[in-house]
Chains A and B, each alone.
Chain A
Amino acid sequence: MTHFADYIPYVACLLAIVTFNNRAQQAGNPLPSSLTFAISGGAAFLIGAWIGNWIIYWYFLGIQPANILPHPDTVFSTPDWKWVPICDPVRVSSLAKTLLVTPGCLLGIACAMFAWNRQYGLENRFIRPPPDYSKFGVVAAGHGGFEGSLINNPKVRSVVTQIVVIGSVALLFYFIVANTAHNLDRLGIASGFKFLCDPARYDVTGGFMPVSSTETHWAAFTAGLLNTFVVAVFGCIAATILGVIIGVLRLSNNWIVSKLAAVYVETLRNIPVLLQILFWYGIFILLPAPRQSLKIFDTFYLNNRGFLGPKLFVGDAPVLSAEQQATMISEMGDVKYQRLVEEAGGEENVAAALAESVRPVFGDGSSVLFISLIVAFFAVWFYRRWARKRQEATGQQSPVFLVSAGTIILFPILCLLIAGTTLELQHTELKGFNFVGGTSISVSFVALWFALSVYTAAFIAEIVRAGILAVPYGQTEASYALGLRPGQAMRLNILPQALRVIVPPLTSQYLNLTKNSSLAQVVGFLEIVGTIGGITLNQTGQAVECIVITMAVYLIISLVISVFMNWYNKRIALVER
């Protein structure tokens, strides 16, 4: 139950701030406003956190928050993001906190900075001075300074118009929502987001995170989200690389090369992407069946189910307590347990087999890898800065690429060796119908990824070509005059300038690719539209909620891409002198 008492700390906090401020102002002696603002920021956070909790619990999940404060053990422990604990009442509270702490703190800090600026007036960036009406021959009277009726007062008019517009939009929105809710209710269709915590009852297979039918719709959704994400990210990367190559080749002086590139572009961008996905899928399922897989060095296999290879485990399997083992065994059921004992070769090996079955790719002791990677990245960053300074000062170049790549690859390996971390390869092997163990990528994914990349690359190639052509030819000649080789001229002079033209339209190609990934349906790859926007929608009948979630995900992904690309665009635009 939400207690009336839950309100008390927040309301008290707010009241205290308001009174404090008022008192101080009445006394004509404002407090150092940074303090006030910091306190307000903190209060804003608390209130935000509380409202957030309340919304998540009560509205979405229909659970009354038992405890508003996060459980101390749970604040930052979300080991696997599938388990982002939306459906766990204790841990969801900590999630809400984590999500809300950040904006709350930022708000607090921003307020404090604002106040500090204002007080010391060092930089009056945030505050515009009042307009000087006197230069229009208007004598200041009160605030607006306009004579006559209120209707003629532009300030009043603009405020009223805005209120009316915002009010109407809000009203319209309210009516749509209320109407939908009413109609759903009339039809006896459930609404709300509680279904996310019900068992999904379907399996998500063939993607990058298997989810079993006993897990929740939320888990199935996160699996779909991950699959969408992987397609989008890898698709954009591949499309960019391919697109840049084709775009540059199309400008080649070699007639054959440039014509081939032109044919690529003109063919691929004029065939609907749906057909291309089906085409590649049709090609890939022509590969031999698993039992006759194509082998590469006896470690990699290609067949009409997917591409398979070994899996690398970094670190050891977890050590399971007797209690954990007991629960796992009891959940397993007798038949499965017998099979496990058989496969492990006796009761005495069961503990090891159990631990192996839940062994993560990055197991105990793998933190060495992450820490050394971070260290390597920092080292490289400093090294590059040093190298640039040196080049600017002395004109001497350093082998930046070699050293960077070497450090990032070799340093972590060295650390792993010194620390003696277990590195183990798990090979994939044929068992019954298919391969088990190792890493596998389904044919559906490969076809989808391939088709999207190849299709989008055709558009990117044209964008790249346009970008390069937009750089005056004099730049190329200037580079040659400085003694740069054609490759260097392209890499160091032309491409960086072309990027300014390339980046904005490139963003829309990334967005297109991401949205086109929903065509995964035709090859049976379950991404977000297949899971929450498909099976979950169909099984729960909660179309409105599922579509809202699906749209929100695409919106968020698109916004993130846009924000990132805009940031990048600004960054490269600044290079201009």
Chain B
Amino acid sequence: MKIKLASLVLGAVVGVSAATAASAATLDDVKARGELLCGVSTGVAGFAAKDDSGNWGGVDVDVCKAVAAAVLGDAGKVKYVPTTSKERFTALQSGEVDLLSRVTTWTFSRDVKLGFEFTGVNYYDGQGFMVKKSLGVTSALQLDGATVCVQTGTTTELNLADYFRTNNMTYKAVNVETADESVENYVNNACDVYTTDSSALAAQRSGLADPSAHLVLPEIISKEPLGPLVRHGDNQWGDVVRWSLNAMVIAEEKGVTMANVDEMKGSNDPEIKRLLGSDGDMGAQLGLSADWAYQIVKQVGNYGESFEAHIGVNTPIGLDRGLNQLWTKGGILYAPPMR
């Protein structure tokens, strides 16, 4: 009996160590699994949302697709894991997802203290406020005493506290977990103001019954560089995600699009050649096939295409490129050279 017990304990101990000492090589895991586990939001139109037929789409989703195209050669091999703002970090830390692409602001403490690595920025944003026009408010500085709808576990919540405190105003918060709940509370007058990243404000305003009855206030109270992130310490995987996003930006810069990528393969531009794998061994250096970036552009498109398809001026969300324009065209989008 004693022997049985001892082996039981030993088994349990070994099991525990095996279970918790997850391997650090996410790239190998993804390849072996044949599927990318990508953490996205529970639903923000234009960033990550399901369409009527149940397919995920949006600029955040495109980052997942790009990584899947690069690693597995198929942008469709992604399993989307919807996460709330509150759950997202635990999901990534615990290995439930390989990658988080979920309107997440790159901040010092998330990068350093929470043990993550941000691999770039796919949307430069800032926090704003939305009110009902009937309230007669035109500036955020008139919001003293207001009740504010905000999502819990976000930078939004922290900026809100700072903004009201530094401007000597008070407020009451209604802290809920998902974007839908926030909007519903706002619509049902459970709060006077709704605050979040201004891109999401635009997206959600477009989904309201009468968008013109709502006003986005002029103040932008924070910097919100939103980007994909991975676990700290797995540099190879970090590189794969970083350069998948960079490849989309470089492709736009070089005029490589979903439509012309095949003919661009014959281009003489040395950077395009390296990007599309006809020169050099950059794919191999990343642990990927030579046509990794070709697959990204072919299946997902370049950054500009993704932007215009999901959140650009011709979509209901109607966001201007603004800061997210290429550096050559007056924005701050700037990918390091592919060499």
Contacts and interface: CB of A to CB of B under 8 A. Distances in A.
Interface in A176-197: 176, 179-180, 182-183, 186-190
B165 A188 contact: no
B158 A164 contact: no
A523 B174 CA distance: 8
B106 to A, nearest CB: 15
B184 to A, nearest CB: 9
B55 interface: no
Given A187-B231, A522-B181, A434 B168 contact: no
Contacts of A175: 13, 16-17
Contact of A539 (B16, B109, B231): B109
B209 interface: no
A205 B115 contact: no
Interface in A533-549: 534-535, 537-541, 543
Interface stretch (A1-9, A332-340, A395-403, A499-507): A332-340
B190 A213 contact: no
Contact of A171 (B9, B143, B158, B181): B9
B186 to A, nearest CB: 11
Nearest to B173: A205
B127 to A, nearest CB: 14
Interface centre among A203, A434, A522 (most CB of B within 10 A): A203
Given A189-B93, A526-B175, 4 more contacts: A188-B232, A205-B172, A289-B189, A333-B168
Interface residues of A, number: 58
Contact of B171 (A205, A333, A436): A205
B254 interface: no
A28 interface: no
B144 A433 contact: yes
A13 B328 CA distance: 78
Contacts of A203: 160-161, 164, 171, 173
Given A165-B5, A539-B153, A522 B176 contact: yes
B53 interface: no
A538 B104 CA distance: 12
B17 A336 contact: no
A508 B174 CA distance: 31
Contacts of B115: 187-189, 541
B113 A336 contact: no
A168 B9 CA distance: 6
Contact of B5 (A168, A188, A213, A214): A168
Contacts of A160: 2
A521 interface: yes
Contacts of B177: 521-522
A540 B113 contact: yes
Interface of B: 2, 5-6, 9, 12-13, 16-17, 20-22, 24, 85-86, 89-90, 93, 109-110, 113-115, 143-147, 149, 152-153, 157-158, 160-162, 164-165, 168, 171-177, 181, 185, 188-190, 192, 231-233
A182 B22 CA distance: 12
A214 B89 CA distance: 24
A443 B190 contact: yes
B289 to A, nearest CB: 29
Contact of B145 (A206, A336, A339, A434): A434
B17 A535 contact: no
A538 B152 contact: yes
A281 B189 CA distance: 12
Contacts of B114: 189, 540-541
Interface centre among A201, A442, A443 (most CB of B within 10 A): A201
Interface in A519-577: 521-524, 526, 530, 534-535, 537-541, 543
B173 A206 contact: yes
B153 A187 contact: no
Nearest to B175: A524
B134 to A, nearest CB: 10
A541 B89 contact: yes
Contacts of A425: none
A15 B93 CA distance: 49
B113 A541 contact: yes
Tell me the interface secondary structure of chain B in the complex: mixed
B146 A433 contact: yes
Contacts of B168: 333, 335-336, 339
B5 A432 contact: no
A335 B174 CA distance: 27
- 8 smallest CB-CB distances across A and B, nearest first, come from A541-B114, A538-B153, A213-B161, A524-B174, A188-B115, A189-B115, A432-B145, A168-B9
Interface of A: 160-161, 164-165, 168, 171-172, 175-176, 179-180, 182-183, 186-190, 201-203, 205-206, 212-214, 281-282, 285, 289, 304-305, 333, 335-336, 339, 431-434, 436, 442-444, 521-524, 526, 530, 534-535, 537-541, 543
A330 to B, nearest CB: 15
A535 B175 contact: yes
Nearest to B112: A188
B176 A541 contact: no
B2 to A, nearest CB: 6
A432 B193 CA distance: 14
A202 B158 contact: yes
A285 B189 CA distance: 7
B115 to A, nearest CB: 4
A304 B16 contact: no
A201 B176 contact: no
Given A201-B161, A530-B152, A534-B153, A543 B90 contact: yes
B9 A214 contact: no
A541 B85 CA distance: 13
A541 B93 contact: yes
30 contacts: A171-B13, A172-B13, A175-B16, A179-B20, A183-B22, A186-B233, A187-B93, A189-B113, A189-B114, A206-B172, A206-B173, A212-B161, A285-B189, A333-B168, A432-B144, A521-B152, A523-B174, A523-B176, A524-B152, A524-B173, A524-B174, A535-B86, A535-B157, A540-B109, A540-B113, A541-B89, A541-B109, A541-B110, A541-B113, A541-B114
A142 B24 CA distance: 60
B192 to A, nearest CB: 6
Contacts of B147: 305, 433-434
A168 B190 contact: no
Contacts of A434: 145-147, 172
Contacts of A171: 9, 13
A534 B176 CA distance: 10
Interface centre among A164, A175, A212 (most CB of B within 10 A): A175
A459 B149 CA distance: 34
Contacts of B172: 205-206, 305, 434, 442
Contacts of A538: 85-86, 89, 152-153
A339 B167 CA distance: 12
B93 A433 contact: no
Given A201-B161, A434-B147, A176 B9 contact: no
A526 B231 CA distance: 29
Contacts of A205: 171-173
Contacts of A182: 21
A180 B16 CA distance: 10
A213 B161 CA distance: 6
A534 B173 CA distance: 15
Contacts of B143: 433
A168 B181 contact: no
B9 A172 contact: yes
Given A171-B9, A186-B233, A534 B158 contact: no
B146 to A, nearest CB: 5
A199 to B, nearest CB: 10
Contact of A534 (B21, B152, B164, B185): B152
A526 B165 CA distance: 20
Nearest to A161: B2
